[in-house]
Amino acid sequence: MLNPNELILGLGSNSGKTPDDALHMLRRAKRLLQCHSRFELLAVSPIYASDALLPNGAPPEWNRPFLNAALRLRVRDRSGLTTDDAGALLEEMKVLERTLGRMDGPRWSPRVIDIDILDWGAPPVSRAEITIPHSELTKRPFALLPLHDCLERHNCTREPLEWRYSHPDQVPFRTRRAPFAWPEIVAILNVTPDSFSEGGPSEAGNSLVRRLESQVREGATIIDLGGESTRPGARPLSPEEEYNRLLPVLSVIHDLKNRYGITFSLDSRHPEVTQWVNRECPIDWINDVEGFTNPKMLELAKETSCDLVVMHSLTIPPNREAVLNPQFDPVDQLMEWAAERISTLTRAGIARERLILDPGIGFGKTARQNQAIFERGREFLKLGTRILIGHSRKRFLDPDDLVPASDRDLETAVLSSRLALSGIDYVRVHSPRPNERSLRLGNRL
């Protein structure tokens, strides 16, 4: 049963030239709703692929496959919805569609985005402009199956869900789980000789280009470049030292941005380095391991339009003796920290939509605390920001130290599959390929 202030939205897109374009639109719609002041994201469905629903005689160019999904949301400012809210919610969804680029067009033609109210916790509504539950729900497996994934015990219909157990070719519109997943992959590129798990790349020129191109082909949409190691015991660098490590790589990153449209993230806690790098290669994300607690980094963040990865840490470099209070719930402690950071940053004039919260697995936490944070990652969705999880090669994956850190990609990928349907937005990893495959598998299982 849905609670009185909950609803389930269906998302659909068959825009662009490739399924990747439709996936991009679903992710944008999810993030817009996730960061919306009125809504709290509670659950996401797997992503489904289906044939387009078309009338007889439709133009051939309309016949583009759809990607579909569902989101379960709570309305923050209401204890319960009523039938009087239906019209306002419908208009709100239309506003969001227009924000995402949808324009009026012929019915059944390709759509940049569809956002439909599939069901809610209020009494049913049947009007000319809106019907809740959606009037065609039982005829459209590409809407009904995602809805049931968000809410297994759904009472809108007593008809059996035969589609769930059919051979894929027998399901109406060939509806099936798609080979995609919600989280995007952030590929780590450390150019430091004392990284805890890489030992620092020694590539130059064509070798570095091949490595970065490989990361993009293997599924990375963001490259996170770092020049200062944050492993325990690492020597802190001066801004000049860090910049000199980064400088040879920037022309390669700039070329990749132009050719592939990747997002460039700079992993640095030094405002001077961030400014110097930005002059050579425009930065899209600033990833600050200190969570923008440095007043100069905060001022820099206010002056830019970059998205901000706000990470939790207690000491840099990490000190194994400095951890979250073991007497209290680690997730509760991080939620309190995150609420303070969000409040400080938004009061400084930084839009919530620019924030990406990283709970900082491996920084100031015990192995058990890291495990709890990973397993309960979906709880961070309550914050109303995007969420990044960086579990790659961390020691909590192998607490007995049986495997060198550089060989923990298998352990990393196994856990990544558990993030596919958690609602989080990004996984930050050293090796994109096994994690991309693991996320796809997580969406399909």
Helix (H, G, I), strand (E, B) or coil at 201: coil
Tokens of 89: 């919610």
Claim to verify: residue 122 and residue 201 sit in the same structural domain: no
396 within domain boundaries: yes
Task: Give the span between the Cα atoms of 134 and 138, in whole angstroms.
Answer: 9
The answer to whether residue 1 sits within a structural domain is no
List of residues 6+ apart from 40 with CB closer than 8 A: 73, 74, 76, 381, 382, 384
- Cβ pair 128, 44 in contact under 8 A: no
Do residues 115 and 220 share a domain?
no
**CATH number of 136's domain:** 3.30.70.560
Cα 32 from Cα 144, distance rounded (Å)? 23
- Give Cα 443 to chain centroid, integer Å: 14
Rounded to an integer, what distance in angstroms lies between the CA atom of residue 190 and that of residue 203? 11
> Concatenated DSSP letters for 156-181?
S--S--GGGGS-GGGSGGG-EE-S--
Predicted pLDDT of residue 165: 52
So what's the pLDDT on residue 16?
83
Catalytic-role residue among 245, 394, 408, 440: 394
Q: Which of 66, 48, 65, 20 is nearest to 176 (CA)?
A: 48
Q: What is the number of domains present in the chain?
A: 2
The pLDDT score that the predictor gives to residue 167 is: 62
Q: Which residues of the chain have pLDDT under 50?
A: 153-158, 160, 199, 201-202
Instruction: Report the pLDDT value the prediction gives residue 152, as an integer from 0 to 100.
Output: 62
Q: Does residue 269 sit in the same domain as residue 143?
A: no
Catalytic residue among 176, 393, 408, 428, which? 428
Same domain assignment for residues 194 and 152:
no
Are 38 and 152 members of one domain?
A: yes
Amino acid of residue 344: T
Q: Residue for token digits 């806690």?
A: 269
Pair (144, 223) in one structural domain: no
For the chain, the distance separating the N- and C-terminal CA atoms, rounded to the nearest angstrom, is 24
The per-residue pLDDT for 199 is 45
Q: Residue 193's domain is classified under what CATH number?
A: 3.20.20.20
Contacts of 128 (CB under 8 A, 6+ apart): none
Which pLDDT score, from 0 to 100, does residue 298 have? 98
Identify whether 394 is a catalytic site residue.
Answer: yes
Domain, as residue range, for 336? 184-443
- Rounded to the nearest 10°, the torsion over CA 378, 379, 381, 386 is -70
Question: Is-catalytic flag, 428?
Answer: yes
Shared domain check, 232 and 216: yes
Tokens of 5: 């202030």
pLDDT of residue 163: 52
User: How wide is the angle at C-alpha 324 spanned by C-alphas 320 and 328, nearest 5°?
Assistant: 145
Regarding whether 257 and 173 lie in a shared domain, the answer is no
The CB density around residue 117, as the number of other CB atoms within 10 Å, is 20
Are 200 and 77 within one domain?
A: no
Please, what is the Cα angle at 199 between 193 and 204, to 5 degrees? 70
Burial class (CB in 10 A: 0-12, 13-18, 19+), 211: middle
The answer to whether residue 319 sits within a structural domain is yes
CB-count exposure of residue 404 (10 Å: 0-12, 13-18, 19+): exposed
Q: What is the pLDDT of residue 436?
A: 97
pLDDT for position 55: 87
The Cα–Cα gap between 35 and 236 comes to: 35
Q: Which of 152, 177, 202 is the last residue of a domain?
A: 177
Kindly state whether residue 21 falls inside one of the protein's structural domains: yes
Does residue 95 lie within any of the structural domains? Answer: yes
**148 neighbors 154 (Cβ within 8 angstroms):** yes
In the numeric block, which tokens belong to residue 49? 């692929």
Q: Which of 354, 429, 440, 351 is nearest to 397 (CA)?
A: 429
One domain, residues 339 and 438: yes
Strand, helix or coil for residue 296 = helix
C-alpha torsion sign, points 322, 325, 330, 335: negative
Q: DSSP class of residue 312?
A: -
Is there a single domain that holds both residue 37 and residue 158?
Answer: yes
User: Has residue 401 been placed in a domain?
Assistant: yes
Structure tokens at 126: 């049947």
| Domain boundary pick from 143, 177, 211 | 177
Q: Structure pTM?
A: 0.92
Q: What type of residue is 185?
A: I
Domain boundary (177, 208, 241) is at 177
Judgement on whether residues 17 and 162 belong to the same structural domain of the protein: yes
Strands 66-75 and 307-311: unpaired
